[in-house]
Amino acid sequence: MIGVFDSGVGGLTVLRALIERIPDADYLYFGDTARLPYGSKSAATIAQYAVGAVRYLQERGAELLVIACNTATALALDEIKAAAEVPVIGVVEPGADAAVAASRKRKVVVIGTEATVSSHAYRRALQAREVTVQEKACPLFVPLIEEGWVEHPVTEQVARIYLSEAFSDDASDADVLVLGCTHYPLIKSVLRRVAPEHVAIVDSAESTARAVERQLGIERVASSTDGKAENVHGLKFFATDSAEKFRRMGTRFLGLPVEDVVHVDLKE
């Protein structure tokens, strides 16, 4: 049983990548939708919320925890690991590993929310691997994606502006773009169109799913039915706000029906 935690629905892109790679596992997903966005909260508050959520997942049988939230990974991973009784994998380190593997010039651009960029978690992880990093906050992407404007001309125009700024000056020859937010895989096709042609795009959701595979010692055998709904054993969802809203938006992020949603009221 794999437990996946996020502040909202964005982490469903991580769950989607996990299902595609490990379809025969059972999954529990916890979205703390009543208390998002995490980015405007203190590190201590984020740690408190995240620890409560992962304990809830453990109590329901999670044997491995995936922290799909970039902000919680950046600001509270140590506290989460200290509180957990099972292995914990965040999204930052796998994303950094994948960026290093993809970069020949050892120059990388990371885009994310204000909170993730301000934490400099990706910068620290990449600099520890002797990679030069340019970070760029892209605060308009999340609301555009949640509005469903994934292929809207406005989203593409915003992406052009953000990426032109991200790949400016010393980063003009960077050869990897790291998607440091779990919402961003939904606009990967837009980012591919507007990013410089020589740039490889690293999706931290996919990187995290590969890290989980390694943790579990799984050898992936690709098949024509990878990631199809009928191959998923068990999918259960927990949300701290409206189950109906989570169901509606979650289906778009997961690419599969989101049906079994339980409303949870975690005490402060």
Which residues are known to be catalytic?
69, 181
Helix, strand and coil percent figures for the chain, each rounded to 5? 50, 20, 35
51: left (phi over 0), alpha (psi -120 to 50) or beta: alpha
Distances (CA, A) of 228 to 8, 17, 22, 267: 23, 12, 11, 36
The Cα–Cα gap between 128 and 52 comes to 30
The residues facing 110 across adjacent strands are 135, 178
Strands 261-263 and 234-239 turn out to be parallel
Helix intervals (H) in the chain = 12-21, 43-59, 70-83, 92-102, 114-119, 121-127, 141-146, 153-166, 188-194, 204-216, 243-254
The Cα–Cα gap between 11 and 4 comes to 8
The Cα–Cα gap between 182 and 149 comes to 16
Residues 6+ apart with CB under 8 A from 191: 159, 163, 177, 179, 184, 201
The Cα–Cα gap between 268 and 264 comes to 12
The Cα–Cα gap between 213 and 250 comes to 24
